[in-house]
Amino acid sequence: MRTAPTSVNTEAHDNCGVAVRALVLGAALACPHAAQAVITEADFLGELPVVLSVSRLSQPLNEAPAAVTVIDRDMIRASGFRDIPDLLRLVPGFSVAYTRDNTWAIGYHGMADAFSRRFQVLVDGRSIYSAAFGAVQWQELPLSIDDVERIEVVRGPNAATYGANAFLAVINIITKDPSQTPGTFASLQHGEQGMSGVTLRRGGSRGDLRYRMTLSAQNRDRFETDTQNGAGSLKQYEETRTYFLNGRADYRASASDELTAQFGLAVGDWQAGRLQDPPDPEHELEPRQQDVSNAYLQFKFRRVLSADDEWSLQFYHSRHALDAPSRLDAFGLTIVGDQDTLQTRTSLEFQANTRLGSTLRMAWGAELRRETVQSLLYFDSRDTQQGVLGRVNANLEWRVHPDLLLQGGAMLEHHYFTGTDISPRVAINYTLADGHTLRLNVSQAYRSPTFFEQQGSLAYYSTGGALIEQVFVPSDPLRPERILSREIAYVGQYPALRMQFDAKLFHDTIHDYINGAGSPRQFTNRDAFTVQGGDLQLNWQPVPALRLSAQYARAFIAADQSVDRDLSQSVPHNNFSLLARYDLGQGWNASAGVYRSGRMKWLSDGDLTQAYTRWDVRFARRWSWQGHEVEAAVVGQNLGEDYSEFRSENVFSRRVYGSLSLAW
């Protein structure tokens, strides 16, 4: 696999140019040796990143058929984030918030709720999207952020490659190869607001075998415990303690064949929910204790015959269990609301890349997948809900002319709820001049209903079996949500300015939007609506010591209130971030992040949250000590005013933590 320098190419805000120039001037004055270090253009940004997630073909960013953001290892470290969802604040158009009950809410150009139902999320090719509720269990992934090599985010529908649920975006998390993690690594974090963590990793090799093993424990306490809402004071309990173990082994059987095996196990002991004074019976139904376990086993065989000719066979099985008992004494009854849930997924997938001619390349494959869920509370039955889906896909790249690249692809999929659908895509990449590419893209994608949307039956009973309240009932047969996306984009390199830049304008039409209403609630398909706007991202390295990544997005939703009364407010009209990294010399590094989100309404049970600006900083130093590579860092998060996310009482306050890592 070809490797290349990777980075998030994010764009500048309209008014940030003056501020950036001032920052560069100040940096040069404060550290004149940086300017003296400029020798050749090779010291600056090189080639565009090579991405793999759009068509499953290795392609430079300007030849990909859709917009992609790459978050590389340097950006992950400089951001100071320790939770993977936070990293998506660096991607144009993404909204990120921690909700409660140990869940994250993520949206792209709106439609943001507590379940992240419209993304396909992968870890080394393994889907972690929940077929039961559409949620992504970010908080219990058996994955350390120290093991993440890069994250590729396809900004837009990509069902032609990944099928249903690659509806708005694909988030592909790529972990480090064992060859990148030799020896022993230890990392420790501790800080305010209950933040602490420890990670131990061991990697090595024996002959043709390479391996790594990671053990970690992480504690979090997300918000201020004592907050206020309109009904009185609240005590929020979001304290989590999560332990996980994962491992990976790569065995090279021959010059062309390699077998990879991975496993992971995570267990959590969590406090979740809130208590209100005066007591609120509705909120008392929320669980006080959550015990979770998440496990997976994954095997992949890969045969590489040449740079453009290879195939692979992958199998994985994952299991997620939640034990969350809940009892409420009210109205002279004991009401049962246990949230115990068991989910599994088993997948067998074949993929192949081949060169059909000097100007033709193709990636194609097939997958067979079985998904199950079992929950007495959410389905009013002890039976196992299950389904099997099958799909085949192909993506073709044709270089019609040295300056013209034509790409087409489609996924044919049979889903257990909605039958057979096809998701096509056509893209044209035209090189206007060396380093300047124009892209046109038209694609269609589907999102199949989740088990809960189609078959959910949520009811509360007394211990004597009496029905207290019926909240959801099963739906009539639902049609899949469908999106038609049209995009025009530009990708440019400016060597004289040491800058990479890309921008896109998009217009999406969404049909058969799935939403719940009524009493009891039932999911139905709604009328069509449109989402339109633009994304910008920029990467600039004006001097070797300074690197700037910026992004800006502007989006609008036009939807009738009959579709969803809050839908048009679910997207912030302006979204901006800037991450600056500066090498101070002698092992010292400084970075600062600014994250701006506009006013928006979080769907499902979220609130209308006001616009906020968050400021984070990180200072770190690396040095060698008795043969050990050491890094010490201090990180300040939200150094400005407190802000609310997802709900008004979810107050994110200023906090500081320190970290220490050793490698030998």
Report if residue 195 sits inside a domain: yes
pLDDT of 627 reads 85
| β-sheet with 333-336: strand ranges across | 327-330, 333-336, 459-462, 467-470
- Hey, how many other C-beta atoms are within 10 angstroms of the C-beta on 391? 23
For residues 275-282, average pLDDT: 50
State phi, psi for 630 to the nearest 5 degrees: -120, 140
Kindly tell me the burial class for residue 12, based on how many C-beta atoms sit within 10 Å of its own C-beta (0-12, 13-18, 19 or more).
Answer: buried
- Hey, how many other C-beta atoms are within 10 angstroms of the C-beta on 39? 8
- Which one-letter amino acid corresponds to residue 113? D
Question: What gap in Å lies between CA 399 and CA 176, rounded to an integer?
Answer: 32
Q: How confident is the model at residue 288 (pLDDT cuts 50, 70, 90)?
A: low
Report if residue 103 sits inside a domain: yes
pLDDT digits (tens, 9 = 90+) for 365-393: 999 999 999 999 999 999 999 999 999 99
Question: What gap in Å lies between CA 552 and CA 93, rounded to an integer?
Answer: 7
Phi-psi group of 255: left, alpha or beta (phi > 0 → left; psi -120 to 50 → alpha; rest → beta): alpha
pLDDT digits (tens, 9 = 90+) for 437-460: 999 999 999 999 999 999 999 988
Question: What gap in Å lies between CA 466 and CA 460, rounded to an integer?
Answer: 9
pLDDT digits (tens, 9 = 90+) for 596-647: 999 999 988 889 999 999 999 999 999 999 889 999 999 999 999 999 989 8
For residue 634, the SS3 value is strand
CB proximity list for 582: less than 8 A, separation 6 or greater = 27, 31, 545, 546, 547, 589, 590, 591
Q: How confident is the model at residue 274 (pLDDT cuts 50, 70, 90)?
A: low
Report if residue 9 sits inside a domain: no
pLDDT of 339 reads 81
CA distances from 360 to 304, 351, 357, 395, 397 (A): 18, 17, 5, 11, 6
Report if residue 21 sits inside a domain: yes
For residue 266, the SS3 value is strand
Q: Which pair of tokens denotes residue 97?
A: 């918030």
Cis? peptide before 278, omega within 30° of 0: yes
Pairing of strands 119-123, 169-175: parallel
Among 189-203, 273-287, 400-414, 527-541, the range scoring the smallest mean pLDDT is 273-287
pLDDT of 222 reads 74
pLDDT digits (tens, 9 = 90+) for 543-562: 999 999 999 999 999 999 88
For residues 518-522, average pLDDT: 92
Question: What gap in Å lies between CA 453 and CA 478, rounded to an integer?
Answer: 8
Could you tell me the residue range of the domain that residue 180 belongs to? Answer: 16-663
Per the structure, how many domains does the chain have? 1
- Hey, how many other C-beta atoms are within 10 angstroms of the C-beta on 434? 9
Q: Which pair of tokens denotes residue 616?
A: 């984070």
pLDDT of 364 reads 97
Report if residue 118 sits inside a domain: yes
Q: How confident is the model at residue 329 (pLDDT cuts 50, 70, 90)?
A: low
pLDDT digits (tens, 9 = 90+) for 330-342: 656 666 677 889 9
Percentage of the chain exceeding pLDDT 70: 87
CA distances from 662 to 214, 565, 631 (A): 14, 52, 7
Q: Which pair of tokens denotes residue 325?
A: 């008992």
pLDDT of 338 reads 78
Closest by Cα among 366, 316, 318 to 56: 366
- Hey, how many other C-beta atoms are within 10 angstroms of the C-beta on 75? 25
For residues 12-31, average pLDDT: 37
Q: How confident is the model at residue 283 (pLDDT cuts 50, 70, 90)?
A: very low
pLDDT of 139 reads 81
Q: Which pair of tokens denotes residue 358?
A: 């000097």
For residue 490, the SS3 value is strand
Report if residue 11 sits inside a domain: no
Query: Residue 210 pLDDT > 90, yes or no?
Result: yes
Q: Which pair of tokens denotes residue 416?
A: 């257990």
Report if residue 232 sits inside a domain: yes
Question: What gap in Å lies between CA 263 and CA 249, rounded to an integer?
Answer: 9
pLDDT of 137 reads 84
Any idea what the CATH number is for the domain that residue 75 is in? 2.40.170.20
Report if residue 5 sits inside a domain: no
